[in-house]
Structure 1
């Protein structure tokens, strides 16, 4: 089975180090969408945080309500700047003694540096363990882990503007069920299947036990884009606030008290008008069949820049599509351009 590394076909990709595909990216997409496949996402960063104060400490630093996170549960969190701009995104799991954060490739050192600067007298010992642990994703409607049954994710509804505190439970807004894996690590139930954190020495053994075909990061990304799931540093820039990309629902608790950037979160939620929004674009593919690079400008027919492309992919059914961030006042029927390609917003 030929492995094609992404740097061989997409130089400069944020997923450098991952396998782009195993010879047939279209078939791999169909496998993930209709059956089950395994995606190696071990290029993501892993931070382990043992210590008695880990959850209360993370609760005070991030957007998520974590003081009542139970052993065997996971969630998502953001670290914001003082002005409410997204500086880090992580998915987490707590096993009762350690909180594990998995982060975008290359961002673990900066996140660890921030956490260490915020330790003060807290009983926590954060460490970058990326060299020892690997994240795999078992994706698809037929995804199964022998001997493990986990509940689907629970996502609390986002309350309306100027809500009462009684309308928001003191729990994480998103809760992922998790379970330990034989041989070490854990499984976390996600909307697309399961994330598996395993020792790097056990990656091959876990793949043999699951007995499903491998699929490359191209296939995983194509399904992510079609599902409108943003990624930090691709669908975000230095000005991004959570409401622009939909993270208010997944990673932000709106009634957890003070944290860095909380004032911006509250103001935007109460006014209901973030300055930009995440959209799915259909690209015509007529003038060029080259995918636009991350950061390519999105413009109107008269040449006015209104946003930028995050991730562009070739989807096996939808063709050339891209996630983009555009100004709030861009209408759903606006005629747009991305480079030389015509583009149209997909209306959910």
Structure 2
């Protein structure tokens, strides 16, 4: 395990490095490939056995049967109504399929996988004591990664590209996630110690999860720990891009996925908010989003970005007036927010949405 407490300025909560005194500076360094983030809020699960890829393929939203070693993808586990229950980044090395998951979801996902083994040749396990996770630009994290057959164990985030079998709802061009270039590396304990020692000597730059999450929010990138609320359909967060294969065989929830995409529209949609920056207060996850005083949704993620200022993601009703001006509840009172479309109200296979330019930087309420 990585122990960043040895690095000067480290602020740790719940065993997770939050920041090292300058979250905005850490964001700049991460975005520029000059730092790596210690992702103590991530856990590693491992699946071995000859049937691992076909087994995971049959259980999840992603086509994995022919996944090549070193190729990065992601999967969702859905309930019978098509709602997201679990999410994982996926990397196979030819013998083991590695699942990088949010720490809060790891135990539940592992328990579910173990129950679904039946007589197949698969063995899921918790690899959290073997590896920790660091994130950042792929070239920045690769030197710290474990390797198999000379190939670093680095998951390269496919977002926001549209994977084979996927579908994009966001019509914004260019997509704000296009320049993020994110990777997550599996790091052994000895390499983790070396990284911390290098950072303590000033020879390597670290960042905390606050900086990493701000870059994610700016990229409109959904995450289990934030956007998944027990009733999220993958369509609502534009997650068909990278985590759902629309042409694969049956899996739990597949009927709802196909029906919503082919015949209807998702009941909610993810939007991006540029928050009024006159106060330093960010809204909490779950804070109400209002239009004309009526609640139309809630905040899923909020962050202070080094270029865009205070920003957030929110799930709102399909009928919510977006783009437009909304207000968000906070401990300091109402926050004005300029709302930008991510998932359009008519999202689905038959929608014809023109490409739209992004809002200008800091177009929010002044």
TM-score normalised by the shorter chain: which range applies?
0.7 to 0.9
* Mapped contact 2:63–2:248 kept (Cα < 8 A): yes
Return the alpha-carbon distance in structure 1 between the equivalents of residues 95 and 141 of structure 2: 26
**CA shift at 1:31, angstroms?**
1.3
Tell me, which stretches of 5 or more residues in structure 1 are unaligned?
A: 8-15, 162-189
Partner of 1:107: helix, strand, or coil?
helix
- SS at the partner of 1:126? strand
Among 22, 27, 30, the residue aligned to 2:28: 30
SS at match of 1:310: strand
Secondary structure in 1 matching 2:117:
coil
Please give the per-residue CA displacement for 1:226-260, whole angstroms capped at 9, x wherever unaligned.
11111113112111100100110100001111100
- The more displaced of 240-249 and 129-138 is 129-138
In structure 2, stretches of 5+ residues that fail to align are 1-7, 144-149, 169-178, 342-357, 359-366
Structure 1 residues 156 and 194, CA gap change in structure 2 (3 angstroms): closer
Q: Where do 1:279-290 residues align within 5 Å?
A: 279-286=271-278, 288-290=279-281
In the alignment, the residues of structure 2 paired with residue 159 and residue 242 of structure 1 have an alpha-carbon distance, to the nearest angstrom, of 11
* Separation (CA, whole Å) in 1 of partners of 2:230 and 2:288: 16
User: Does the aligned pair in 1 maintain the 2:17–2:40 contact within 8 Å?
Assistant: no
Task: Look up the match of 1:166.
Answer: none
Give the match for residue 258 of structure 2.
266
> What residue is the counterpart of 2:231 in the other structure?
239
Q: 1:342 maps to which residue?
A: 336
Partners of 2:36 and 2:141 within 8 A in 1: no
Report 1:302-317 matches (<5 A): 303-317=293-307
Q: 2:222 aligns with which of 222, 230, 237?
A: 230
Q: After TM superposition, list the pairs within 5 Å mapping 1:141-156 onto structure 2.
A: 143=140, 145=142, 153=158, 155-156=162-163
Does residue 333 of the first structure (1) align with residue 323 of the second (2)? yes
8 Å Cα contact 1:84-1:262 kept in structure 2: yes
Structure 1 SS opposite 2:134: strand
TM-score, length of structure 2 as denominator length:
0.78
Matches of 2:96 and 2:219, distance apart in 1: 31
Please say if 1:201 is aligned against 2:198: no
8 Å Cα contact 1:112/1:128 also seen in 2: yes
Does 2:297 correspond to 1:322? no
TM-score (structure 1 length as normaliser): 0.81
SS in 2 for 1:250: coil
Q: 1:209, 1:309 → 2: CA distance?
A: 38
Q: Which moved more, 1:148-157 or 1:262-271?
A: 148-157
In structure 2, the partner of 1:168 is none
- Cα distance, 1:156 vs. partner? 2.9
| CA deviation after TM superposition for structure 1 residue 158, in Å | 5.9
CA RMSD of aligned residues (A): 2.6
Give runs of aligned pairs for residues 100-119 of structure 1, distance below 5 A. 100-119=98-117
Output the CA distance in 2 between the equivalents of 1:160 and 1:204: 41
- Residue by residue, what CA displacement relative to the aligned partner does 1:157-213 show, whole Å, maximum 9, x if unpaired? 66779xxxxxxxxxxxxxxxxxxxxxxxxxxxx952431101233212256689541
Question: In structure 1, what is the equivalent of residue 290 of structure 2?
Answer: 299
